[in-house]
Amino acid sequence: MNVRSVRGAVAVAASLCALVAVAACDVQSGSDTADSGASASPVAAKSLKVGWSTIYLTPSWMQQTLKMLESDVSKLRSAGKVSSFKTFNANGDTSQQISQIRAMIQQKYDVILVDAGSSTALNPALEQAEAAGITVVAFDSLPTTTKVIRVGTDQKKWGSMTATWLAKKLNGKGSIIAMNGPAGVAVSEDRWAGAAAVFKKYPGIKIVSNVHSEYNLAPAAQAFASAYSAHPDIDGVFSQGGALSAAALQTLVKQDKKLVPITGENYNGFLKQWQAEKKNGFSSFSTAQPNYLSVIALEAAVAAREGVSVPQDVTVPLPEITDDNLSAYVKTDQPDDSYPITDLPQAEIDKLIGK
Amino acid sequence: MRERITSLTRSNTDLVWLVALLLVLLVAYQHYDSTLFTPASVTILSAQFLPLILAAAGQTTVMLLGGIDLSLGAVLGLAMAVFATYEAQGAGGVVTAAVLALGVAGATGAVNGALVAYAGLPPIVVTLAASFLWSGVTLVVLPQPGGHVPAGLVEAYNNGWYGVALPVVAITVVLAGWKLVRTTRHGLALYAVGGNEHGAYASGLHTRGVKIGGYALAGVFTGLAGIGLAIQTGSADPTIGTPYTLNSIAACVLGGISFFGGVGRMRGTVLGALLIGLLTNLLLFTGISPFYQLIVQGVILVVALALKTYVTREATA
């Protein structure tokens, strides 16, 4: 009995600790409420409470995107247009991303930016946010709903333009390995759909292996190595991601094999290797999912709040990196895991969002 | 008899502890979101928590049999894909689609159960293999996010149907159904086989049949979770189910379901799943950095489990 009461006391103490912890969080929220209280005053009435929900935050592409976004936020904050900015990371869990959007609705955000984990699953939540008077702008990985503003690139065109380059480079014949992203992910499927349509027009090109892997170097290298060992006589590689391209090129270089053309993306590790191997006859054609999509998304949201009629679909042109302009992109002093691309001039952004 | 009483006390101590924790979370939640106890919020939150609660119910059924289901996320995705891909037009279509999805999910469970019962393979191996198998099949059914659920149903489910929170109704029906199953011979056999397989066999139970039935029931729960997620999101996504595998296990463990089988209660699982759902939501409100959110979530789960074990150890010993 005595032991039991001790255990009871421990339980009570623990609950108290939990309460204290929650109270500690309150302090933070207290300052938040003070903020929103200030923004309710007529002078700052127009500054917006902005939240960004992203399916992943850890990849370096996302980190760079966040950095660009944050610098734009601080610019808009000093202009008095944005009052607060918060980032939510769903860590790969789409259900959690739905929770995040619902939480933002309940907390009366003015603007929700979203990098969607699923092209369909977020639709009801995003539509609900729109219905609650929140400006929702999706970018990069887009939902299918037509009720929100979508800022992205044409993923099908990504596939078709890189595939066209490869087909022409091979004079319309030869065997190739296709390196795609994870199966069942919309971006990957769209890029491949664009590429597959092109390859259909070139009957001389044979796709000997169609590999799916994460957009990460290690799993991509494993996937490519096994496909390559089964088909060492390939004439080219269609790859729809920078890490995938780097994995393929690395394998060829390491095994001292013939350097066949590989399509790519502005992943610095790949660009560096490309530049190093150019003298050995390596050739590529790359494009980019630009990090400044996030900035365009935020600018579009602010513009929409200011009454500008922003187009529902903002399609950002895909940059083209070729053997000739490669040196303008590659950043030899920066880590492999970065995506060298410069800011888009404000004039270009304004043009895209219909300002 | 004595054992029965101790076991009863133990599960009750478990539940009291969970309810206390839940109250703390609710109070904190209420602080951030004063609309928490309005019908609208209850509907939204229950719609959000339903898939995890049902998935955890499926996991519980397997864990009560002394197994663990690593294929749960894959089967959830499969059921979702089948449900949303089937021509879900009109009420008749929805019911057919649901029956089809539940049939498929139940069958995948039965296959797991048969392999465990007859081939004598460890559940962890069988369900791991099954997770690859069914996520592959899901991609065949639905190669990329899509499918369709009638908009009216999505609306009614997410925003209430004449003020009735449909997800709450669904959870209540499932819990009542479980209670009924528990009182039947099969339900009791589930606990007996999970707790002491040899003893159960010696007392004349068809242990293999019980296992297959239990795994099939788990499949049906998982299928229901998939259908719930499809209705919540208005579509299907072949890769969305994965996180549910581990989250459902966490909910079960928090709810007091033993890894060794035969011990635990469904209401504990429901509380566990609610706790996890509320906790993740609550962390969104606090506005701490996303990376720290994961840390806090992990620490709170471990501390909650450790404390609960400590408080209830007397009863176990």
- The rounded distance, in Å, linking the Cα atoms of A136 and A114 is 8
Model pLDDT, residue A11: 53
**B94: confidence class by pLDDT, cuts 50, 70, 90:** confident
Please give the backbone phi and psi of residue A234, each rounded to the nearest 5 degrees, phi first: -75, 160
Residue B141 has pLDDT above 80, yes or no: yes
* β-strand pairing of A82-89 with A111-115: unpaired
**Best residue in B240, B301, B310 for a mutation probing chain A (most A CBs within 10 Å):** B240
**Higher-confidence position of A215 and B104:** B104
> Does residue A39 sit at the B interface (CB-CB below 8 Å)?
no
Q: Which of B158, B280, B286 sits opposite A124 (nearest CB)?
A: B158
Reported in sequence order, the residue ranges of chain A that DSSP labels E, i.e. its strands, are: 48-54, 82-89, 111-115, 135-139, 149-152, 174-180, 205-212, 236-239, 262-265, 284-287, 313-315
> Does residue A4 sit at the B interface (CB-CB below 8 Å)?
yes
**Higher-confidence position of A300 and B35:** A300
- The rounded distance, in Å, linking the Cα atoms of A279 and A281 is 5
- The rounded distance, in Å, linking the Cα atoms of B81 and B79 is 5
With an 8 Å Cβ cutoff, are A118 and B145 in contact? Answer: yes
CA nearest neighbour of A277 among A215, A323, A338: A323
With an 8 Å Cβ cutoff, are A99 and B284 in contact? Answer: yes
**B15 CB burial (10 A radius; 0-12, 13-18, 19+):** middle
Q: Which of B147, B240, B291 sits opposite A94 (nearest CB)?
A: B240
Which helix (H) or strand (E) covers residue A230, if one does?
helix A217-230
Q: Is A330 helix (H, G, I), strand (E, B) or coil?
A: coil
With an 8 Å Cβ cutoff, are A25 and B288 in contact? Answer: yes
> Does residue A29 sit at the B interface (CB-CB below 8 Å)?
yes
B287 contacts on A by Cβ (under 8 Å)? 28-29, 32, 86
Q: Please name the amino acid found at residue A78.
A: S
Nearest chain A Cα distance for residue B88, angstroms = 16
- The rounded distance, in Å, linking the Cα atoms of A179 and B78 is 25
Which helix (H) or strand (E) covers residue B302, if one does?
helix B290-316
Write down the pTM of the prediction: 0.82
Nearest chain A Cα distance for residue B21, angstroms = 7
Q: Which of B144, B229, B307 sits opposite A189 (nearest CB)?
A: B144
**B158: confidence class by pLDDT, cuts 50, 70, 90:** confident
Token output for B161: 């149907």
> What angle is formed at CA B52 by the lines to CA B285 and CA B151, rounded to 5 degrees?
85
- Residues 84-113 on A with a CB inside 8 Å of B are 86-89, 91-96, 98-100, 102-103, 106-107
**A225: confidence class by pLDDT, cuts 50, 70, 90:** very high
Residue B161 has pLDDT above 90, yes or no: no
Taking each continuous run of H as one helix and of E as one strand, the counts in chain A are 12, 11
Exposure class string for B220-247: b at 16+ Cβ within 10 A, else e: bbbbbbbbbbbbbbbbbbbbbbbbbbeb
Average pLDDT, chain A: 88
- Which range has the worst mean pLDDT, A66-80, A170-184, B84-98, B121-135? B84-98
B41 contacts on A by Cβ (under 8 Å)? 106
Residue A301 has pLDDT above 90, yes or no: yes
> Does residue A38 sit at the B interface (CB-CB below 8 Å)?
no
With an 8 Å Cβ cutoff, are A124 and B285 in contact? Answer: no
Close Cβ partners of B308 (under 8 Å, ≥ 6 residues apart)? B14, B17, B18, B254, B256
Nearest chain A Cα distance for residue B161, angstroms = 16
Q: Which of B32, B237, B307 sits opposite A94 (nearest CB)?
A: B237
Average pLDDT, chain B: 88
Neighbours of A9 (CB within 10 A): 10
ipTM: 0.81
With an 8 Å Cβ cutoff, are B233 and A118 in contact? Answer: yes
Nearest chain A Cα distance for residue B234, angstroms = 7
> What angle is formed at CA A200 by the lines to CA A263 and CA A172, rounded to 5 degrees?
60
A186 contacts on B by Cβ (under 8 Å)? 144-145
- The rounded distance, in Å, linking the Cα atoms of A290 and A115 is 14
Residue A23 has pLDDT above 50, yes or no: no
Token output for B90: 């009109």
Whether A239 contacts A179, CB under 8 Å: yes
**Higher-confidence position of B59 and B299:** B59
